[in-house]
Amino acid sequence: MIAFCILAIMFATHASEPYIGDTEPLVVHIEALEPAIHGPRVTGTTPGRPFIFLIPATGEAPLSFAAQDLPKGLKLDETTGIIFGAVHTAGKYMVRIEVRNAKGHASRDLAIIAGEHMLALTPPMGWNPWNVWSRDIDDAKVRDAADWMVNSGLAAHGYQYVNIDDCWEGQRDANGVIHSNERFPDMGALADYIHTKGLRFGIYSSPGKETCAGYPGSLGFEQQDAKTYAEWGADYLKYDWCSYKVASMNLAEMQKPFEVMSEALDACGRDIVYSLSQAGTANIWEWGAALNVNLWRTTGDIRDTWESVSGIGFSQVGHETYAGPGHWNDPDMLVVGWLKWQKGPTHLTPTEQVAHISLWSLLAAPLLVGCDMAKLDPFTRDLLTNDEVIDIDQDAMGKSASRVAQCNTITVMAKLLEGTFAERWFNREPQAWGDVWARPLGDGTMAVGLFNRGEIPGVIATTWDVLGLEGPQPVRDVWRHKDLGEYDSSFSAKIPPHGAVLLKIGRPALRK
């Protein structure tokens, strides 16, 4: 691994000047008046179950929508762009969607796949309140988040789920039916409110007697709870391992409670994305998909510090083989924007935030925003709505990135200077070191992230060899929407500490 990167850096140092993007903003925002369609290119549903999908689209208002070849059972609202109904028959339907305004029109294919267990065919994108509101959550705050999901423009770029985390739970009645507490007077009405915007609604529970915050969990009431969630109109369940006791930590016992809820969701009559939160215990990535789990947490709770984000993000090595359409690794929520810990903006610097979102997109991670949506500042909005970055995350092939090279620049410099001079000069542990992560995309190109994990600016490089590419290749900086030209066999960039450059390398195969 290290050898690759040393070679890469030596080669790049001699071959061409490293790319330095620091004369430009970290993130470039495009505000086009012409219509454009964004977000996932594939979505799934079970025949006969309610389906809702908002076509994510931007451009000068008013927009109007059209769809050709919708499967029987689905309808499009031409003014809102909401596709709704229930598909009659299993199959793969290529729907041509179109959006128009006074400036022009745009169209592209959306694959709707109807069958058993066809949920979360791309990583879920949305919002979860835990990292901003924690226990202090109520109906008004969730409605507010749904409003801002639309008003901020996030929904127009593919963000879809408005989820509730812990602390909504009230008591069970004499029949064992769970009710929401006084902060959520009518869960069904809240779900309806979210659905009228074309968005999807998420709920939370735990397999134990109590949730992590001490509210009633689902133990012994799994079928009943799944039925209640379906009646309310839930589209997503975060099932959080707390208070469930296992006699031994053997695999079958660990899996049991998740299997029980999986079967309950299957039987509940509604499509509910199944998200497990159990801090990455028992190598869940190895068995989650077999239980029809759509996403599983691979780590403990994230914080808005570089230590937390980089510690979680870069330790995902090896998990990539377990991710794919319908079953994703979840390295936890995005810690950008206005958060709870200091009741203010994230502790991450803008540079670190670019590295965070770059890595999560490469990992095909769910993009669940955890901030106060009403306080979305322009930088955070631009960070979350860069369509080229979202396209990497949402790529329909669903291959998660792997780390293809790792290096530390002290070693590299010592090598280049042919001695231990550099090591003595710095006289400490390596300060600048880098990772290269890459994933193949469905259009035949590679998404590649060059990361500087160190404390000083560094040149991080990759060669076509480690990426499996041959011959001259076009390189594009996706955060800045900028073609950088053709490179023969390697690419290097000077990157600030804790920063990243996110690239698309290669020629897209023709797409109809």
> For ligand GLA, which stretch binds (CB under 6 A), given 23-31, 103-111, 209-217, 462-470?
209-217
How many whole angstroms separate alpha carbon 236 and alpha carbon 124? 10
Give the one residue of 163, 180, 262, 277 binding ligand GLA; rule: CB under 6 A.
Answer: 277
Residue type for position 207: P
Q: Is 241 left (phi over 0), alpha (psi -120 to 50) or beta?
A: beta
Stretch that binds ligand GLA, among 211-219, 432-440, 446-454, 465-473 (CB under 6 A): 211-219
Catalytically annotated residue among 109, 147, 266, 301: 301
Query: What are 413's strand-pairing partners?
Result: none
Do the beta carbons of residue 274 and residue 294 sit within 8 Å? Answer: yes
Q: Does 98 interact with ligand GLA (rule: CB under 6 A)?
A: no
Contact status: 304 vs ligand GLA (CB under 6 A): no
Q: Which of 53, 65, 127, 130 binds ligand GLA (CB under 6 A)?
A: 130
Q: Which stretch binds ligand GLA (CB under 6 A): 7-15, 60-68, 205-213, 284-292?
A: 205-213
- Candidates 138, 165, 225, 240; catalytic one: 240
- In whole angstroms, how close is the CB of 302 to ligand GLA at the nearest point? 8
Give me the least distance between CB of 332 and ligand GLA, in Å please.
7
The C-alpha atoms of residue 511 and residue 145 are separated, in whole angstroms, by 36
Comparing CB distances to ligand GLA, the nearer of 363 and 412 is: 363
Using rule CB under 6 A, residue 301 touches ligand GLA: yes
Rule CB under 6 A: say whether 210 interacts with ligand GLA: no
Active site residue 240: yes
Three-class DSSP labels, 172-226 = ECCCCCEEECCCCCCHHHHHHHHHHCCCEEEEEECCCCECCCCCECCCCCHHHHH
Q: Does position 66 bind ligand GLA by CB under 6 A?
A: no
Q: Per-residue DSSP letters for 60-117?
A: SSPPEEEEESPPTTEEEETTTTEEEE--SS-EEEEEEEEEEETTEEEEEEEEEEESTT
Does 187 bind ligand GLA (CB under 6 A)? Our answer is no
Out of 138, 235, 240, 304, name the contact with ligand GLA by CB under 6 A: 240
Q: Is 166 in the site for ligand GLA (CB under 6 A)?
A: yes
Q: Rounded to 5 degrees, what are φ and ψ at 408?
A: -125, 140
Asked if 213 interacts with ligand GLA (CB under 6 A), we say yes
Count of residues that interact with ligand GLA, criterion CB under 6 A: 9
Distant-in-sequence, close-in-space partners of 370: CB < 8 Å, separation ≥ 6: 127, 128, 129, 130, 131, 132, 333, 334, 335, 337, 339
**What span, in angstroms and rounded, lies between the C-alpha atoms of 365 and 362?**
8
Residues with a known catalytic role = 240, 301
Task: Point out which residues bind ligand GLA (CB under 6 A).
Answer: 130, 165-166, 211-213, 240, 277, 301
